[in-house]
Chains A and B, each alone.
Chain A
Protein backbone atom coordinates (compact mmCIF):
# COMPACT_ATOMS: atom_id res chain seq x y z
CA UNK A 1 0.00 0.00 0.00
CA UNK A 2 1.32 3.47 -0.83
CA UNK A 3 2.24 5.90 1.94
CA UNK A 4 -0.63 8.15 0.86
CA UNK A 5 -3.12 5.32 1.19
CA UNK A 6 -1.83 4.25 4.58
CA UNK A 7 -2.11 7.81 5.89
CA UNK A 8 -5.58 8.18 4.40
CA UNK A 9 -6.67 4.98 6.14
CA UNK A 10 -5.51 6.31 9.52
CA UNK A 11 -7.26 9.64 8.98
CA UNK A 12 -10.51 7.97 7.88
CA UNK A 13 -10.50 5.77 10.95
CA UNK A 14 -9.55 8.45 13.47
CA UNK A 15 -11.75 11.27 12.16
CA UNK A 16 -14.67 9.17 10.86
CA UNK A 17 -14.61 10.82 7.44
CA UNK A 18 -15.21 9.36 3.99
CA UNK A 19 -12.13 8.23 2.02
CA UNK A 20 -12.95 10.60 -0.85
CA UNK A 21 -12.77 13.59 1.51
CA UNK A 22 -9.14 12.85 2.30
CA UNK A 23 -7.52 14.84 -0.51
CA UNK A 24 -4.00 16.21 -0.59
CA UNK A 25 -5.12 19.78 0.17
CA UNK A 26 -7.82 18.93 2.74
CA UNK A 27 -7.28 20.70 6.07
CA UNK A 28 -7.43 18.26 8.96
CA UNK A 29 -9.25 20.78 11.16
CA UNK A 30 -11.32 22.87 8.75
CA UNK A 31 -12.26 20.26 6.16
CA UNK A 32 -12.09 16.98 8.08
CA UNK A 33 -13.46 18.25 11.41
CA UNK A 34 -10.53 17.39 13.68
CA UNK A 35 -10.45 19.26 16.98
CA UNK A 36 -7.40 19.65 19.20
CA UNK A 37 -8.14 16.33 20.93
CA UNK A 38 -8.45 14.46 17.62
CA UNK A 39 -5.11 15.96 16.55
CA UNK A 40 -3.34 14.55 19.62
CA UNK A 41 -4.73 11.06 19.01
CA UNK A 42 -4.02 11.30 15.27
CA UNK A 43 -0.37 12.06 16.02
CA UNK A 44 -0.27 9.00 18.30
CA UNK A 45 -1.76 6.88 15.51
CA UNK A 46 0.93 8.08 13.10
CA UNK A 47 3.68 7.50 15.66
CA UNK A 48 2.45 3.96 16.31
CA UNK A 49 1.97 3.07 12.64
CA UNK A 50 5.25 4.44 11.35
CA UNK A 51 7.28 3.90 14.50
CA UNK A 52 8.62 7.42 14.94
CA UNK A 53 8.37 10.35 17.35
CA UNK A 54 6.49 13.49 16.36
CA UNK A 55 7.33 16.49 18.58
CA UNK A 56 4.63 19.02 19.47
CA UNK A 57 6.38 21.55 17.19
CA UNK A 58 6.39 19.12 14.28
CA UNK A 59 2.77 18.16 14.98
CA UNK A 60 1.69 21.80 14.84
CA UNK A 61 2.98 22.10 11.26
CA UNK A 62 0.79 19.22 10.08
CA UNK A 63 -2.34 21.05 8.98
CA UNK A 64 -3.26 19.29 5.74
CA UNK A 65 -3.24 15.71 4.51
CA UNK A 66 -0.45 16.65 2.07
CA UNK A 67 1.67 18.11 4.86
CA UNK A 68 1.47 14.81 6.73
CA UNK A 69 2.62 12.92 3.63
CA UNK A 70 5.58 15.21 2.98
CA UNK A 71 6.53 15.28 6.68
CA UNK A 72 6.72 11.49 6.81
CA UNK A 73 8.75 11.43 3.59
CA UNK A 74 11.30 13.84 5.14
CA UNK A 75 11.57 11.31 7.98
CA UNK A 76 12.58 8.72 5.43
CA UNK A 77 9.28 6.86 5.39
CA UNK A 78 8.22 5.79 1.93
CA UNK A 79 5.50 3.23 2.49
Chain B
Protein backbone atom coordinates (compact mmCIF):
# COMPACT_ATOMS: atom_id res chain seq x y z
CA UNK B 1 0.00 0.00 0.00
CA UNK B 2 1.11 3.53 -0.72
CA UNK B 3 2.76 5.55 2.03
CA UNK B 4 0.94 8.67 0.90
CA UNK B 5 -1.49 10.12 3.43
CA UNK B 6 -4.63 12.03 2.49
CA UNK B 7 -6.07 15.02 4.34
CA UNK B 8 -9.13 17.22 3.93
CA UNK B 9 -8.19 20.84 3.22
CA UNK B 10 -11.39 22.41 1.91
CA UNK B 11 -15.14 22.12 2.53
CA UNK B 12 -18.20 23.42 0.70
CA UNK B 13 -21.87 22.72 1.21
CA UNK B 14 -25.40 23.65 0.15
CA UNK B 15 -27.77 21.64 2.30
CA UNK B 16 -31.07 21.69 4.17
CA UNK B 17 -29.15 22.73 7.31
CA UNK B 18 -27.12 25.49 5.78
CA UNK B 19 -25.36 26.92 2.76
CA UNK B 20 -22.00 27.32 4.45
CA UNK B 21 -19.88 24.82 6.33
CA UNK B 22 -20.08 26.73 9.60
CA UNK B 23 -23.86 27.09 9.43
CA UNK B 24 -24.32 23.38 8.62
CA UNK B 25 -21.96 22.36 11.42
CA UNK B 26 -23.64 24.59 13.99
CA UNK B 27 -27.09 23.28 13.09
CA UNK B 28 -25.89 19.66 13.19
CA UNK B 29 -24.43 20.21 16.66
CA UNK B 30 -27.48 22.10 17.88
CA UNK B 31 -29.74 19.40 16.48
CA UNK B 32 -31.66 22.04 14.57
CA UNK B 33 -33.64 20.37 11.83
CA UNK B 34 -33.65 21.57 8.22
CA UNK B 35 -36.60 19.35 7.35
CA UNK B 36 -39.78 21.23 6.41
CA UNK B 37 -43.03 20.62 4.57
CA UNK B 38 -42.26 19.85 0.91
CA UNK B 39 -42.78 23.05 -1.09
CA UNK B 40 -40.73 22.71 -4.28
CA UNK B 41 -43.49 20.53 -5.71
CA UNK B 42 -47.09 20.01 -4.60
CA UNK B 43 -46.87 17.98 -1.38
CA UNK B 44 -50.50 16.89 -1.51
CA UNK B 45 -49.70 14.56 -4.42
CA UNK B 46 -47.59 12.32 -2.19
CA UNK B 47 -47.96 10.16 0.90
CA UNK B 48 -44.75 11.66 2.32
CA UNK B 49 -45.01 15.46 2.45
CA UNK B 50 -41.78 16.45 4.19
CA UNK B 51 -38.36 17.12 2.71
CA UNK B 52 -34.92 18.55 3.31
CA UNK B 53 -34.82 21.50 0.89
CA UNK B 54 -31.92 23.85 0.22
CA UNK B 55 -33.18 27.32 1.18
CA UNK B 56 -32.32 30.62 -0.51
CA UNK B 57 -30.39 29.03 -3.37
CA UNK B 58 -30.37 31.56 -6.20
CA UNK B 59 -28.43 29.81 -8.95
CA UNK B 60 -28.55 32.75 -11.35
CA UNK B 61 -27.15 35.05 -8.68
CA UNK B 62 -24.41 32.62 -7.61
CA UNK B 63 -23.39 31.25 -10.99
CA UNK B 64 -24.59 33.86 -13.48
CA UNK B 65 -27.81 33.49 -15.48
CA UNK B 66 -26.33 31.66 -18.43
CA UNK B 67 -24.43 29.06 -16.42
CA UNK B 68 -27.49 28.56 -14.25
CA UNK B 69 -29.79 28.05 -17.22
CA UNK B 70 -27.48 25.53 -18.88
CA UNK B 71 -27.20 23.25 -15.84
CA UNK B 72 -29.66 21.07 -13.96
CA UNK B 73 -30.20 21.94 -10.31
CA UNK B 74 -28.00 19.02 -9.22
CA UNK B 75 -25.07 20.46 -11.18
CA UNK B 76 -25.81 23.99 -9.97
CA UNK B 77 -25.62 22.81 -6.37
CA UNK B 78 -22.36 20.98 -7.05
CA UNK B 79 -20.84 24.03 -8.79
CA UNK B 80 -21.74 26.29 -5.89
CA UNK B 81 -20.43 23.88 -3.26
CA UNK B 82 -17.23 23.22 -5.22
CA UNK B 83 -16.53 26.95 -5.54
CA UNK B 84 -16.90 27.27 -1.77
CA UNK B 85 -14.64 24.28 -1.07
CA UNK B 86 -11.99 25.50 -3.51
CA UNK B 87 -11.94 28.93 -1.88
CA UNK B 88 -11.77 27.33 1.56
CA UNK B 89 -8.76 25.24 0.48
CA UNK B 90 -6.77 28.34 -0.43
CA UNK B 91 -5.70 26.71 -3.69
CA UNK B 92 -5.74 28.63 -6.95
CA UNK B 93 -5.13 27.87 -10.57
CA UNK B 94 -1.73 29.55 -10.21
CA UNK B 95 -0.67 27.59 -7.13
CA UNK B 96 -1.04 24.08 -8.56
CA UNK B 97 -0.53 22.34 -11.90
CA UNK B 98 -4.09 21.89 -13.27
CA UNK B 99 -3.20 18.40 -14.49
CA UNK B 100 -2.60 17.36 -10.86
CA UNK B 101 -6.13 18.30 -9.76
CA UNK B 102 -8.93 15.77 -10.32
CA UNK B 103 -12.67 15.88 -9.77
CA UNK B 104 -14.94 12.97 -8.80
CA UNK B 105 -18.54 13.84 -7.94
CA UNK B 106 -21.25 11.28 -7.30
CA UNK B 107 -24.98 11.53 -7.85
CA UNK B 108 -27.65 8.91 -7.48
CA UNK B 109 -29.54 9.96 -10.59
CA UNK B 110 -28.27 13.25 -12.05
CA UNK B 111 -30.58 15.67 -13.81
CA UNK B 112 -33.97 14.25 -12.87
CA UNK B 113 -35.84 17.56 -13.17
CA UNK B 114 -34.38 18.13 -16.64
CA UNK B 115 -35.40 14.63 -17.69
CA UNK B 116 -38.97 15.10 -16.50
CA UNK B 117 -39.45 18.52 -18.09
CA UNK B 118 -38.05 17.48 -21.42
CA UNK B 119 -40.01 14.24 -21.44
CA UNK B 120 -43.17 16.27 -20.90
CA UNK B 121 -42.19 18.53 -23.81
CA UNK B 122 -41.55 15.51 -26.01
CA UNK B 123 -44.93 13.98 -25.20
CA UNK B 124 -46.79 17.26 -25.72
CA UNK B 125 -44.95 18.62 -28.76
CA UNK B 126 -42.96 15.75 -30.20
CA UNK B 127 -39.32 14.68 -29.91
CA UNK B 128 -38.12 17.40 -32.29
CA UNK B 129 -38.78 19.90 -29.50
CA UNK B 130 -36.35 18.24 -27.09
CA UNK B 131 -33.79 20.88 -26.12
CA UNK B 132 -30.22 20.54 -27.33
CA UNK B 133 -29.29 21.01 -23.68
CA UNK B 134 -31.29 17.98 -22.55
CA UNK B 135 -28.52 15.38 -22.71
CA UNK B 136 -25.71 17.51 -21.25
CA UNK B 137 -27.97 18.74 -18.44
CA UNK B 138 -29.39 15.33 -17.59
CA UNK B 139 -26.30 13.10 -17.49
CA UNK B 140 -25.07 12.22 -14.04
CA UNK B 141 -21.40 12.95 -14.82
CA UNK B 142 -21.97 16.59 -15.77
CA UNK B 143 -21.38 17.91 -12.25
CA UNK B 144 -17.86 16.48 -12.41
CA UNK B 145 -17.35 17.85 -15.92
CA UNK B 146 -18.70 21.31 -15.15
CA UNK B 147 -16.78 21.70 -11.88
CA UNK B 148 -13.59 20.79 -13.78
CA UNK B 149 -14.34 23.57 -16.27
CA UNK B 150 -14.96 26.02 -13.43
CA UNK B 151 -11.70 25.15 -11.61
CA UNK B 152 -9.62 24.31 -14.71
CA UNK B 153 -8.99 20.90 -13.13
CA UNK B 154 -7.46 18.69 -15.81
CA UNK B 155 -6.65 15.56 -13.81
CA UNK B 156 -8.69 12.36 -13.33
CA UNK B 157 -12.38 13.08 -13.67
CA UNK B 158 -15.48 10.93 -13.43
CA UNK B 159 -18.76 10.35 -11.60
CA UNK B 160 -19.77 7.57 -9.26
CA UNK B 161 -23.34 6.25 -9.33
CA UNK B 162 -24.24 3.91 -6.49
CA UNK B 163 -27.50 5.38 -5.18
CA UNK B 164 -27.07 6.56 -1.58
CA UNK B 165 -23.42 5.52 -1.47
CA UNK B 166 -22.50 7.59 -4.56
CA UNK B 167 -20.57 10.38 -2.88
CA UNK B 168 -18.79 8.04 -0.49
CA UNK B 169 -17.58 6.07 -3.49
CA UNK B 170 -16.51 9.39 -5.03
CA UNK B 171 -14.42 10.22 -1.97
CA UNK B 172 -13.06 6.66 -1.73
CA UNK B 173 -11.99 6.77 -5.39
CA UNK B 174 -10.41 10.16 -4.86
CA UNK B 175 -8.40 8.88 -1.90
CA UNK B 176 -7.21 6.03 -4.11
CA UNK B 177 -6.24 8.46 -6.88
CA UNK B 178 -4.04 10.45 -4.49
CA UNK B 179 -2.48 7.32 -2.96
CA UNK B 180 -1.70 6.00 -6.44
CA UNK B 181 -0.05 9.28 -7.37
CA UNK B 182 -2.56 10.16 -10.09
CA UNK B 183 -3.22 13.58 -8.54
CA UNK B 184 -2.11 15.73 -5.61
CA UNK B 185 -5.52 17.29 -5.08
CA UNK B 186 -9.01 15.89 -5.63
CA UNK B 187 -12.24 17.88 -5.54
CA UNK B 188 -14.82 15.31 -4.53
CA UNK B 189 -18.22 14.67 -3.02
CA UNK B 190 -21.75 14.46 -4.27
CA UNK B 191 -24.85 16.26 -5.36
CA UNK B 192 -28.52 15.40 -5.67
CA UNK B 193 -31.67 17.30 -6.64
CA UNK B 194 -34.43 14.72 -6.25
CA UNK B 195 -37.40 16.85 -5.24
CA UNK B 196 -39.29 16.07 -8.42
CA UNK B 197 -42.49 14.21 -9.14
CA UNK B 198 -40.80 11.03 -10.36
CA UNK B 199 -38.23 10.82 -7.56
CA UNK B 200 -40.52 11.60 -4.66
CA UNK B 201 -43.32 9.53 -6.19
CA UNK B 202 -40.98 6.62 -6.87
CA UNK B 203 -39.63 6.50 -3.32
CA UNK B 204 -43.19 6.83 -1.99
CA UNK B 205 -44.21 3.83 -4.08
CA UNK B 206 -41.38 1.84 -2.50
CA UNK B 207 -42.80 2.82 0.89
CA UNK B 208 -39.31 4.04 1.72
CA UNK B 209 -40.29 7.56 2.86
CA UNK B 210 -41.61 8.73 6.22
CA UNK B 211 -45.38 9.21 6.11
CA UNK B 212 -46.26 9.53 9.79
CA UNK B 213 -44.90 12.99 10.61
CA UNK B 214 -46.34 15.13 7.80
CA UNK B 215 -47.51 17.66 10.40
CA UNK B 216 -44.23 17.68 12.34
CA UNK B 217 -41.53 17.76 9.66
CA UNK B 218 -38.68 18.42 12.08
CA UNK B 219 -39.42 15.11 13.83
CA UNK B 220 -39.86 13.00 10.68
CA UNK B 221 -36.29 11.75 10.26
CA UNK B 222 -35.75 9.70 13.44
CA UNK B 223 -32.94 7.20 12.97
CA UNK B 224 -32.93 4.16 15.29
CA UNK B 225 -36.11 5.42 16.98
CA UNK B 226 -39.12 3.28 17.83
CA UNK B 227 -41.46 5.58 15.88
CA UNK B 228 -39.44 5.83 12.67
CA UNK B 229 -41.37 5.11 9.48
CA UNK B 230 -38.99 5.77 6.61
CA UNK B 231 -36.41 8.26 5.40
CA UNK B 232 -36.90 11.95 4.64
CA UNK B 233 -35.94 12.78 1.06
CA UNK B 234 -33.52 15.70 0.78
CA UNK B 235 -31.44 17.59 -1.73
CA UNK B 236 -28.08 19.29 -1.60
CA UNK B 237 -24.41 19.09 -2.43
CA UNK B 238 -21.30 18.65 -0.37
CA UNK B 239 -17.82 18.92 -1.85
CA UNK B 240 -14.47 18.27 -0.17
CA UNK B 241 -11.01 19.25 -1.33
CA UNK B 242 -8.70 16.42 -0.34
CA UNK B 243 -4.96 16.52 -0.73
CA UNK B 244 -1.77 14.53 -0.32
CA UNK B 245 -0.43 15.38 3.17
CA UNK B 246 3.05 16.57 2.18
CA UNK B 247 1.56 18.78 -0.53
CA UNK B 248 -0.82 20.29 2.01
CA UNK B 249 1.95 20.86 4.58
CA UNK B 250 4.30 22.42 2.01
CA UNK B 251 1.77 25.13 1.18
CA UNK B 252 0.66 25.64 4.78
CA UNK B 253 -2.91 24.49 4.15
CA UNK B 254 -5.37 24.27 7.01
CA UNK B 255 -6.12 20.60 7.63
CA UNK B 256 -9.56 19.55 8.83
CA UNK B 257 -8.90 15.84 9.36
CA UNK B 258 -7.16 12.86 7.80
CA UNK B 259 -8.95 10.28 5.68
CA UNK B 260 -6.99 7.23 6.70
CA UNK B 261 -8.91 4.30 5.29
CA UNK B 262 -11.44 3.14 2.77
CA UNK B 263 -13.62 0.05 2.77
CA UNK B 264 -16.14 -1.09 0.20
CA UNK B 265 -18.20 -4.18 -0.40
CA UNK B 266 -21.43 -5.47 -1.87
CA UNK B 267 -24.18 -7.45 -0.19
CA UNK B 268 -24.89 -9.46 -3.36
CA UNK B 269 -28.19 -10.22 -1.67
CA UNK B 270 -31.19 -8.11 -2.79
CA UNK B 271 -31.83 -5.03 -4.96
CA UNK B 272 -32.95 -2.86 -2.04
CA UNK B 273 -33.01 -4.79 1.25
CA UNK B 274 -29.78 -5.00 3.27
CA UNK B 275 -28.17 -8.37 3.86
CA UNK B 276 -29.28 -10.06 7.12
CA UNK B 277 -27.22 -8.91 10.07
CA UNK B 278 -25.74 -6.13 7.97
CA UNK B 279 -22.93 -8.47 7.02
CA UNK B 280 -21.97 -6.48 3.90
CA UNK B 281 -21.78 -3.23 5.86
CA UNK B 282 -19.71 -4.96 8.56
CA UNK B 283 -17.22 -6.18 5.95
CA UNK B 284 -16.82 -2.65 4.56
CA UNK B 285 -16.23 -1.35 8.11
CA UNK B 286 -13.56 -3.99 8.78
CA UNK B 287 -11.87 -3.25 5.45
CA UNK B 288 -11.76 0.48 6.27
CA UNK B 289 -10.28 -0.15 9.72
CA UNK B 290 -7.63 -2.50 8.31
CA UNK B 291 -6.75 0.03 5.60
CA UNK B 292 -6.48 2.77 8.23
CA UNK B 293 -4.46 0.66 10.65
CA UNK B 294 -7.21 1.04 13.25
CA UNK B 295 -8.22 -1.65 15.71
CA UNK B 296 -11.90 -1.84 16.62
CA UNK B 297 -10.90 -0.62 20.10
CA UNK B 298 -9.57 2.62 18.56
CA UNK B 299 -12.92 3.69 17.14
CA UNK B 300 -14.58 6.46 19.16
CA UNK B 301 -17.39 7.49 16.85
CA UNK B 302 -19.43 5.99 14.03
CA UNK B 303 -21.37 8.39 11.83
CA UNK B 304 -24.04 5.92 10.78
CA UNK B 305 -25.88 5.75 7.49
CA UNK B 306 -28.91 5.71 9.84
CA UNK B 307 -31.65 6.39 7.35
CA UNK B 308 -34.65 6.08 9.69
CA UNK B 309 -36.03 3.13 7.72
CA UNK B 310 -36.98 0.01 9.62
CA UNK B 311 -34.58 -2.30 7.79
CA UNK B 312 -31.52 -0.04 7.60
CA UNK B 313 -31.40 0.89 11.24
CA UNK B 314 -31.74 -2.67 12.55
CA UNK B 315 -29.21 -4.12 10.13
CA UNK B 316 -26.71 -1.29 10.50
CA UNK B 317 -26.86 -1.67 14.27
CA UNK B 318 -26.08 -5.37 13.83
CA UNK B 319 -23.26 -4.48 11.43
CA UNK B 320 -21.69 -2.10 13.95
CA UNK B 321 -21.86 -4.83 16.62
CA UNK B 322 -20.36 -7.35 14.20
CA UNK B 323 -17.50 -5.08 13.10
CA UNK B 324 -16.62 -3.49 16.44
CA UNK B 325 -17.35 -6.43 18.78
CA UNK B 326 -17.03 -5.34 22.45
CA UNK B 327 -16.23 -1.80 21.39
CA UNK B 328 -19.80 -1.42 20.08
CA UNK B 329 -21.04 -0.90 23.66
CA UNK B 330 -18.63 2.00 24.18
CA UNK B 331 -18.65 3.73 20.79
CA UNK B 332 -20.83 6.76 20.07
CA UNK B 333 -23.06 6.31 17.03
CA UNK B 334 -25.11 9.11 15.50
CA UNK B 335 -27.03 9.82 12.35
CA UNK B 336 -27.04 13.45 11.27
CA UNK B 337 -29.80 12.54 8.81
CA UNK B 338 -31.97 13.35 11.82
CA UNK B 339 -31.52 17.02 10.86
CA UNK B 340 -30.56 17.14 7.16
CA UNK B 341 -32.62 14.21 5.92
CA UNK B 342 -31.38 11.76 3.33
CA UNK B 343 -29.49 13.67 0.65
CA UNK B 344 -29.17 10.44 -1.37
CA UNK B 345 -26.13 10.72 -3.66
CA UNK B 346 -24.82 13.68 -1.65
CA UNK B 347 -25.39 12.26 1.79
CA UNK B 348 -22.11 10.37 2.21
CA UNK B 349 -20.05 13.49 1.54
CA UNK B 350 -22.24 15.52 3.90
CA UNK B 351 -21.72 12.99 6.67
CA UNK B 352 -17.99 12.59 6.03
CA UNK B 353 -17.69 16.38 6.27
CA UNK B 354 -19.56 16.42 9.59
CA UNK B 355 -17.43 13.51 10.86
CA UNK B 356 -14.25 15.41 9.95
CA UNK B 357 -15.54 18.47 11.81
CA UNK B 358 -16.47 16.31 14.80
CA UNK B 359 -12.85 15.12 14.98
CA UNK B 360 -11.47 18.61 14.52
CA UNK B 361 -13.78 20.28 17.05
CA UNK B 362 -14.04 17.47 19.60
CA UNK B 363 -17.82 17.46 19.47
CA UNK B 364 -20.04 14.57 18.40
CA UNK B 365 -23.25 15.78 16.70
CA UNK B 366 -26.37 14.05 18.01
CA UNK B 367 -29.10 11.89 16.54
CA UNK B 368 -31.23 14.91 17.25
CA UNK B 369 -34.70 13.39 16.98
CA UNK B 370 -33.98 10.10 18.73
CA UNK B 371 -36.29 9.55 21.72
CA UNK B 372 -37.05 5.86 22.24
CA UNK B 373 -34.82 3.12 20.87
CA UNK B 374 -36.45 0.88 18.28
CA UNK B 375 -36.41 -2.88 18.60
CA UNK B 376 -32.95 -4.18 17.77
CA UNK B 377 -31.48 -0.68 18.10
CA UNK B 378 -29.37 -0.87 21.25
CA UNK B 379 -26.28 1.31 20.79
CA UNK B 380 -25.39 4.73 22.18
CA UNK B 381 -26.98 6.89 19.48
CA UNK B 382 -26.06 10.20 21.15
CA UNK B 383 -29.77 11.08 21.43
CA UNK B 384 -30.92 14.68 21.43
CA UNK B 385 -27.82 16.54 22.51
CA UNK B 386 -24.30 16.86 21.12
CA UNK B 387 -21.48 15.51 23.23
CA UNK B 388 -18.05 17.00 23.85
CA UNK B 389 -15.45 14.29 23.44
CA UNK B 390 -11.84 14.35 22.25
CA UNK B 391 -12.42 11.68 19.64
CA UNK B 392 -9.43 10.41 17.65
CA UNK B 393 -10.82 7.82 15.23
CA UNK B 394 -14.16 7.73 13.44
CA UNK B 395 -15.95 5.75 10.77
CA UNK B 396 -18.65 6.97 8.37
CA UNK B 397 -20.95 4.44 6.70
CA UNK B 398 -22.88 4.85 3.47
CA UNK B 399 -25.09 2.15 2.01
CA UNK B 400 -26.91 2.22 -1.32
CA UNK B 401 -29.71 0.37 -3.09
CA UNK B 402 -27.95 -2.30 -5.10
CA UNK B 403 -26.24 -3.55 -1.95
CA UNK B 404 -23.34 -1.09 -2.19
CA UNK B 405 -21.50 -0.47 1.09
CA UNK B 406 -18.79 2.11 1.73
CA UNK B 407 -17.03 2.91 4.98
CA UNK B 408 -14.58 5.80 5.29
CA UNK B 409 -12.17 5.88 8.25
CA UNK B 410 -11.04 9.28 9.51
CA UNK B 411 -8.52 10.40 12.12
CA UNK B 412 -8.10 13.62 14.00
CA UNK B 413 -5.19 15.51 12.48
CA UNK B 414 -2.74 16.47 15.18
CA UNK B 415 -0.11 18.33 13.27
CA UNK B 416 2.48 15.54 13.22
CA UNK B 417 4.37 14.63 10.06
Would A40 and B65 count as touching, CB distance under 8 A?
A: no
Would A41 and B131 count as touching, CB distance under 8 A?
A: yes
User: Which residue of B64, B66, B133 contacts A41 across the interface (Cβ within 8 Å)?
Assistant: B133
The reply to whether the CB of B117 lies closer than 8 angstroms to some CB of chain A is no
Would A16 and B66 count as touching, CB distance under 8 A?
A: yes
Would A37 and B65 count as touching, CB distance under 8 A?
A: no
Kindly state the separation between the CA atoms of A41 and B70 in the bound complex, as whole angstroms: 11
Q: In chain A, what residue has the closest Cβ to B60?
A: A16
The reply to whether the CB of B269 lies closer than 8 angstroms to some CB of chain A is no
The reply to whether the CB of A26 lies closer than 8 angstroms to some CB of chain B is no
Would A16 and B136 count as touching, CB distance under 8 A?
A: no
Kindly state the separation between the CA atoms of A19 and B227 in the bound complex, as whole angstroms: 57
User: Which residue of A15, A16, A33, A44 contacts B131 across the interface (Cβ within 8 Å)?
Assistant: A44
Closest chain-A Cβ to B35's Cβ sits at a distance in Å of 34
Q: In chain A, what residue has the closest Cβ to B137?
A: A37
Q: In chain B, what residue has the closest Cβ to A40?
A: B132
Would A37 and B136 count as touching, CB distance under 8 A?
A: yes
Q: Which positions 276-316 of chain B face chain A at CB distance < 8 Å?
A: none
Render B101-133 as a binary contact track against A, CB cut-off 8 A, 1 for contact.
Answer: 000000000000000000000000000010111
State how many residues of chain B have any CB contact under 8 Å with chain A.
10
Give the residue among A15, A16, A38 with the most B Cβ atoms within 10 A: A16
Closest chain-A Cβ to B145's Cβ sits at a distance in Å of 14
User: Which residue of A15, A36, A44 contacts B66 across the interface (Cβ within 8 Å)?
Assistant: A15
Would B66 and A37 count as touching, CB distance under 8 A?
A: no
The reply to whether the CB of B55 lies closer than 8 angstroms to some CB of chain A is no
Would B133 and A37 count as touching, CB distance under 8 A?
A: yes
Task: For B131, list chain A residues within 8 Å (CB).
Answer: 40-41, 44
The reply to whether the CB of B325 lies closer than 8 angstroms to some CB of chain A is no
Closest chain-A Cβ to B193's Cβ sits at a distance in Å of 21
Q: In chain B, what residue has the closest Cβ to A37?
A: B132
Would A16 and B65 count as touching, CB distance under 8 A?
A: yes
Q: Which positions 48-81 of chain B face chain A at CB distance < 8 Å?
A: 64-66, 69-70
Q: Which positions 14-70 of chain B face chain A at CB distance < 8 Å?
A: 64-66, 69-70
Task: For A33, list chain B residues within 8 Å (CB).
Answer: 66
Task: For A16, list chain B residues within 8 Å (CB).
Answer: 64-66, 69
Render A31-50 as a binary contact track against B, CB cut-off 8 A, 1 for contact.
Answer: 00100111011001000000
Task: For B64, list chain A residues within 8 Å (CB).
Answer: 16
Kindly state the separation between the CA atoms of A15 and B70 in the bound complex, as whole angstroms: 10
Task: For A44, list chain B residues within 8 Å (CB).
Answer: 129, 131
Q: Which positions 39-65 of chain A face chain B at CB distance < 8 Å?
A: 40-41, 44
Task: For A41, list chain B residues within 8 Å (CB).
Answer: 131-133
Task: For A40, list chain B residues within 8 Å (CB).
Answer: 131-132
Known: A15-B66, A38-B132, A41-B133. 9 other contacts (CB 8 A): A16-B66, A16-B69, A36-B132, A37-B132, A37-B133, A37-B136, A41-B131, A44-B129, A44-B131
Question: A-contacting residues of B (Cβ < 8 Å)?
Answer: 64-66, 69-70, 129, 131-133, 136
A-B contact pairs, 19 of them (CB 8 A): A15-B66, A16-B64, A16-B65, A16-B66, A16-B69, A33-B66, A36-B132, A37-B70, A37-B132, A37-B133, A37-B136, A38-B132, A40-B131, A40-B132, A41-B131, A41-B132, A41-B133, A44-B129, A44-B131
